Amino acid sequence: MTSIPPFPNTPLTGTEVHYYALCPRKLWWFSHGMEQEHVTGGTGHENVEIGTQLHRDSYAGRGQREVMIDGLLRIDFTEDGKIHEIKKSRGGERAAQMQVLYYLWYLKHEKGVVTTAVIDYPKERRRLDITLTPARESEVEEAIAAAQAVKELPRPPHVPAPMPLCKNCAYQDLCWG
């Protein structure tokens, strides 16, 4: 299948879509080679370490684990025809949903596969079912175009003041330090 717009340059990774939905500045830093979450004393950012442990320990033995598609989508696991994304908490839930919706959009348009997804919150013992509806498909396409535009900016996009999520962000020193 051929890509439909809005892939003006290169396809996005799931991480880039997640970062765009969370904070466009975070996407810009990341897409310009600043991977702050993996540089703190060589061990990584605390939230990343917790997430890595959750991925390793949660849902062991269930489905196919760590499925990489085209070097862009890293699906945590598949089970019963659904893709699963494991998240630490509901903080940033909109960004997690956008990431998973992008997975579904990409699979539909690039691979001809129509499926559904689940976001798993193992610490909260909660699941969120995700389906790509026509309205959500349009939302993903708008996010793709906007994220590509952010990546092409010569400098990080302006954000007038720190947001609540900034206090736990590995990029806070770059933005506000």
Q: What pLDDT is attached to residue 88?
A: 84
DSSP, res 38: G
Q: What pLDDT is attached to residue 9?
A: 59
Q: What pLDDT is attached to residue 63?
A: 61
Domains and CATH numbers, the chain: 14-155 (3.90.320.10)
Q: Which tokens in the block code for residue 5?
A: 């717009």
| Residue with tokens 């540089």, as numbered in its chain | 39
Q: What pLDDT is attached to residue 134?
A: 97
Other CB atoms within 10 Å distance of the CB of residue 150 = 19
Residue 116 backbone dihedrals phi, psi, to 5 degrees: -120, 175
Q: Which tokens in the block code for residue 118?
A: 């689940």
Length of the chain: 177
Give tens-digit pLDDT for 35-46.
765 544 444 555
The answer to pTM > 0.85 is no
pLDDT along the chain (177 residues), means of 10: 49 94 94 70 50 56 77 91 89 93 96 94 92 97 95 92 85 81
Other CB atoms within 10 Å distance of the CB of residue 91 = 13
Nearest to 21 by CA among 33, 34, 30, 9: 30
Q: Could you tell me if 175 and 159 are in contact, meaning their C-beta atoms sit under 8 angstroms apart? A: yes
Q: What pLDDT is attached to residue 1?
A: 41
Q: What pLDDT is attached to residue 50?
A: 53
Q: What pLDDT is attached to residue 177?
A: 67
